[in-house]
Chains A and B, each alone.
Chain A
């Protein structure tokens, strides 16, 4: 019998469970993608590789319109929430204590904590109560709110791990407040800001429930439109449209993680 080298990490059952869990996480997504490329309308019979459903999905006017709405909403929610999150991160990580600060932190985290359905109906009631009917604008406002905590996360984390000495040194070397921020803090924060913006973009693009409840008639986003499509039945176009959304999200997340990583490793 061969002697086994001692390895403190060895937990064979755990390895099996983990590998199965990764299959569990990804198999459904992979099957969706495979179906989307299947030429045969009957999903289970492989009719060869085809992109015809993608073409069909892209040529669908309603789908294109809702995708455009999604992009408009994300294009408003992402910069606004990021720009609001940057000073907030500075205040929480570098600022002096102010009365109500921990309450403020808890409030900003509220969209992460409250069940989505509650946020959704509260926002719906609010818009109804104040009579705001700005179409896509309503959706954008709702998205800004829940994008803020996501944009805040990486920026705060980066500030926390960034030694204060570096900003002290800049100040010591005759930099005024604006110079400290623009020449030292901001450049060092940039990868985290990009990461935060990416997360906000993805969260906005993916949101279904809040948009579904809040969206006024005629202003659907891609996920809401997809929901309607899927309710009607499983169709190859729906698979293709879902695949497009899936790929965009994954690409954005991978991009943001690549952007953040090299800096943190070096620091």
Chain B
């Protein structure tokens, strides 16, 4: 328990040496144990027993580093929330190990782990004031008196809710409740803060604001955040690293730019941003498929002499404001979506066009 209260400030700038390739990062982690905060090793979680058992997680291994903003991204039912609940201690893995600060924690109950959670529903205590909510964890840790009051005040200042300390949760707006939940989880200075789709209940504008806010708070507190979300934009804009999950497996783990620019499989290419997935043979690749982002496809009305593209005809044109989206049916069937601000004028359905695919924009996919 003592260790929970005196948490060393994590070092900053841990990533300096590994700015380059994503492959290097995993090497880094293997060698330098000081940056390994959480290690998930071969974790499987099955609900139910026997042949009807549902595998929510299937042999997942990953490492979360100190002071990073780590995101678990995937569609609903991909196992990301289960992984979060395993980290918090609400679930027990069927197989595998979880290490926090190089110590096995699988058998520690949630109240013995220096890990706090911001729940999707916020789960504020309705019978306590904002202040009492934030103080709850500190008091359970045995802190009393001015120490607690000081910490609570600091936390409420951090989330900019000083004025509402005496209110009950039911008297707050959704966004304010969210901040209370955040302050409450941060107050005991956990080693790890888990956020379960924290922004999903907020409207779009508030969500954008909170994204910036969360990032700021993570920077200011230096606490490691693990965010669960199904919103790829949210993941890309906030995270240091992202683990893309589907069907209980981690498909790709890397920095947002890696994930977006170098997806390793069809699912990731499709799920993160939009992608046209075409047969690899079309461009002379060995990989079965290649992906290309709609904004990287070039479209012209006439045959280009030096760089021959693929001919096709326009199927549909949709004006989107800043850009225009045009769907083209290539000869032989496959549909390609092009979304650019510089599309030629005069595109109407059935109009023959040429699509060109710059070689550096083609992303070969393994599966």
Contact = CB atoms under 8 A, between A and B. Distances in A.
**A and B, direct touch (CB closer than 8 Å):** yes
Interface of A: 163, 165-166, 168-176, 179, 183-184, 187-188, 266-267
Contact of A168 (B115, B119, B127, B188): B119
Contact of A165 (B121, B141, B188): B121
Interface in B77-124: 88-90, 109-112, 115-117, 119-121, 123-124
29 contacts: A163-B121, A165-B119, A166-B124, A166-B125, A166-B126, A168-B117, A169-B117, A169-B119, A169-B123, A169-B184, A170-B125, A171-B109, A171-B111, A172-B89, A172-B90, A172-B117, A172-B185, A173-B136, A173-B137, A173-B188, A174-B111, A174-B112, A174-B137, A175-B136, A179-B140, A183-B136, A187-B127, A188-B126, A266-B126
Given A168-B110, A172-B110, A173-B188, A163 B123 contact: yes
Interface string B142-182: 00000000000000000000000000001000000000000
A172 B116 contact: yes
A122 B97 CA distance: 57
B199 to A, nearest CB: 16
A170 B127 CA distance: 13
A231 to B, nearest CB: 51
Contact of B140 (A174, A187, A266): A174
Contacts of A163: 121, 123
Interface of B: 1, 4, 88-90, 109-112, 115-117, 119-121, 123-127, 136-137, 140-141, 170, 184-185, 188
A117 B116 CA distance: 56
A168 B123 contact: yes
Contacts of B117: 168-169, 172
B260 to A, nearest CB: 33
Nearest to A180: B111
Nearest to B136: A173
Nearest to A175: B140
Contacts of B136: 170, 173, 175, 183
Nearest to A266: B170
A174 B188 contact: yes
A266 B88 CA distance: 29
A-B CB proximity, top 8 nearest? A173-B137, A165-B123, A174-B140, A169-B123, A171-B110, A174-B111, A172-B117, A187-B127
A106 B116 CA distance: 39
Contact of B184 (A171, A173, A175): A173
A187 to B, nearest CB: 5
Chain A CB count within 10 A is highest, among B1, B89, B126, for B126
A101 B239 CA distance: 46
Contacts of A266: 126, 170
Nearest to A163: B121
A173 B123 contact: no
* Residue with the highest number of chain A CB atoms closer than 10 Å, among B1, B88, B110: B110
Nearest to A174: B140
Contacts of A170: 125, 136
Contacts of B141: 174
Contacts of B4: 174
Nearest to A168: B90
A225 to B, nearest CB: 43
Given A169-B117, A170-B136, A266-B170, A175 B123 contact: no
A166 B123 contact: yes
A267 B126 contact: yes
Contacts of B170: 266
Contacts of B115: 172
Contacts of A267: 126
A176 B89 CA distance: 13
Given A171-B109, A173-B188, A184 B140 contact: no
A187 B112 CA distance: 23
